[in-house]
């Protein structure tokens, strides 16, 4: 899947490294032998993967700051002198965009602009993977999976912000970055699950909290279809994309989908029932519809990544849910979650991480 020799000694700058996906990505990059520099807000209070997996100890640089502060961000990026940039810092929740639309727009749009403007002014050649979302597409509530050439759009602030981040990437690439040997691409993942996620109003974390409290999980839209996948699936795609970008920037500097196969686009109800059974819980969910708009059908077509990157999902939805339930059960049992997290990374990648 990956080329360990490519990553060994590479200087990687990762925004959002204290978050759920960012923490998993630091762990993988550490195994690959990369030198990782992070820029992010402090991790959330309470349990979080960054602390539980001892991610701070895997970093060469750990800068805390807000991506909306252009000057502070540019200083951190310039100090890191990265070969590769992964941009994950974002306001990543639909419901939060209803509560704070301006904050969401400022982080997801202007934060992305601050990244590209800093890269433009610094001018060092680099590879950049901007992680957006499957919700960047104009959702037409149809049954067909979205391909990379579908129009951007959205009915909620979060989705619009991610569509704008995609358009910004294209504009900066064509206006400035390509001429500076800064290869840029975007990555659009499905609905990720995995151990160490405690975000509010996200399905698996909500169930974990409900089980801990002995309360029935609350579902907003049990019939909604989503492209579920373990967090390691898209992260492997981001890494493969970065490798290809470095080798042939003109061929890979565009948008890429990293979603599950058709059989793994399942309803919310299926995910909940399966996870509860895997966790040996007798709780059953209750339905409380929400007031804000949210897409009911969302699927991704990843044929391009399969054909041109050689990327394909490794774990089915049932395997992904099983690994996720195992992680949370291990946490409840008091196991060393840094070791457990690395074990799951080893299970997924096998020998492709090398010996670093």
Q: Which residues are catalytic?
A: 158
Write phi, then psi, for 225 (nearest 5 degrees).
-95, 130
And the tokens for 275? 């996870």
Task: Report the alpha-carbon distance of residue 235 to residue 131 in Å, rounded.
Answer: 10
User: Residue length, the chain?
Assistant: 356
Q: Which residues contact 125 (CB under 8 A, 6 or more apart)?
A: 180, 181, 182
Order across the sheet with 191-193: list the strands: 191-193, 225-230, 265-267
Collapse the DSSP code of 36 into the 3-class scheme (helix H, G, I; strand E, B; otherwise coil) and give the result: strand
d(CA 270, CA 266): 6
Q: Which of 195, 201, 153, 138 is nearest to 323 (CA)?
A: 195
Please say whether the beta carbons of 205 and 325 come within 8 A. Answer: no
Please name every residue paired with 219 in a beta bridge, in sequence order, or none if there are none.
287
Q: In what order do the strands lie in the sheet with 35-40?
A: 61-64, 35-40, 11-15, 84-87, 126-131, 182-189, 255-258
Phi, psi of 294 (to 5 degrees): -155, 140
């Amino acid at each position: 899947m990956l080329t360990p020799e490519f990553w060994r000694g590479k200087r990687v700058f990762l925004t959002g490294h204290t978050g759920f996906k960012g923490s998993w990505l630091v762990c993988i990059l550490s195994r690959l032998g990369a030198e990782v520099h992070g820029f992010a807000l402090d991790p959330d209070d309470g349990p979080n993967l960054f602390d539980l997996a001892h991610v701070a100890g895997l970093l060469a640089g750990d800068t805390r700051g807000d991506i909306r502060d252009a000057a502070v961000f540019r200083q951190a990026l310039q100090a890191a002198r990265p070969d590769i940039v992964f941009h994950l810092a974002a306001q990543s929740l639909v419901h939060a965009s209803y509560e704070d639309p301006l904050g969401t727009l400022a982080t997801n749009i202007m934060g992305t602009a601050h990244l590209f403007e800093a890269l433009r002014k610094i001018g060092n050649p680099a590879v950049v993977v901007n992680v957006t979302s499957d919700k960047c597409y104009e959702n037409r509530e149809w049954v067909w999976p979205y391909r990379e050439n579908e129009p951007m759009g959205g009915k909620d602030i979060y989705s619009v912000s991610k569509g704008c981040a995609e358009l910004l990437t294209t504009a900066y690439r064509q206006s400035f970055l390509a001429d500076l040997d800064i290869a840029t691409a975007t990555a659009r993942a499905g609905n990720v699950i995995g151990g160490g996620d405690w975000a509010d109003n996200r399905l698996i974390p909500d169930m974990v909290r409900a089980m801990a409290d002995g309360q029935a999980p609350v579902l907003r839209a049990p019939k909604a279809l989503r492209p579920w996948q373990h967090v390691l699936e898209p992260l492997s795609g981001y890494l493969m994309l970065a490798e290809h970008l470095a080798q042939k920037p003109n061929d890979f500097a565009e948008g890429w989908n990293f979603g599950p196969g058709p059989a793994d686009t399942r309803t919310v109800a299926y995910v909940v029932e399966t996870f509860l059974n895997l966790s040996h819980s007798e709780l059953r969910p209750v339905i409380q519809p929400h007031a804000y708009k949210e897409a009911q059908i969302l699927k991704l077509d990843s044929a391009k990544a399969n054909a041109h990157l050689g990327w394909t999902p490794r774990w089915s939805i049932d395997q992904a849910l099983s690994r996720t339930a195992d992680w949370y059960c291990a946490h409840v049992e008091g196991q060393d979650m840094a070791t457990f997290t690395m074990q799951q990374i080893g299970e997924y990648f096998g020998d492709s991480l090398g010996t670093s």
